Amino acid sequence: MRTTEVASFAEGKPASRRSYIGWLVGLCSAGVGAVLAVPLIRFSLYPLRANTTEVKWSDVGPASDFASVTSPVQRAVTVEQIDGWHKTVSEKIVYVTKKPHGQPEVLSAVCPHLGCSVQWNGSKQEFLCPCHGAVFSPDGARVSGPTPRGMDSLESEIQNGRLMVRYRYFRQLIPTKEIVG
């Protein structure tokens, strides 16, 4: 715009054809920018709106394998979880023990202190965390060490003759069992 056109526009005089075209191009550019920004904004905000899917049931093995368990049995389970558009498949270690009334109980092998892998010591009949020396009884109860609680039990059930478990992650360093994911 020339200085005379700016002055005439500011004084309320009619604008030139060139200023109308400038306004029209600016308005069209803003409209196109807004239309193109909508998918980008939706893509960016999708993970905030999407919920994590429930962790699927994982197969531990035939229920008959755990009918006569006298000491904890270590098993690896495949855990599949979808978070937003990211699918995660991992293998986790669990221990299968028996509840007092004979039903199988599945314990997470993650120490509730700092997340180290708890190992079963068959000669001493106890679980031991190698990181900080926490000791757990065969049923997962805390015996000694810095851990604030016993080993975390996982939701399990028998489906079609197979022991199934729903693997969960729990918050560490707190005395109560709190699900993280």
pLDDT digits (tens, 9 = 90+) for 7-21: 555 566 666 777 888
- Are the C-beta atoms of 165 and 60 separated by less than 8 Å? yes
Share of the chain above pLDDT 70, in %: 86
Residue whose structure tokens are 């962790």: 55
pLDDT, position 149: 94
Is residue 61 packed enough to be buried (19+ CB in 10 Å), middle (13-18) or exposed (0-12)?
middle
What whole-number distance in Å separates Cα of residue 145 and Cα of residue 89? 32
pLDDT digits (tens, 9 = 90+) for 35-61: 999 988 888 887 676 666 667 899 999
Least confident residue range of 17-21, 75-79, 115-119: 17-21
pLDDT digits (tens, 9 = 90+) for 138-150: 999 999 999 999 9
Residue whose structure tokens are 């200023």: 19
Structure token pair of residue 96 = 């299968």
pLDDT digits (tens, 9 = 90+) for 88-106: 889 999 999 998 888 899 9
- Are the C-beta atoms of 109 and 135 separated by less than 8 Å? no
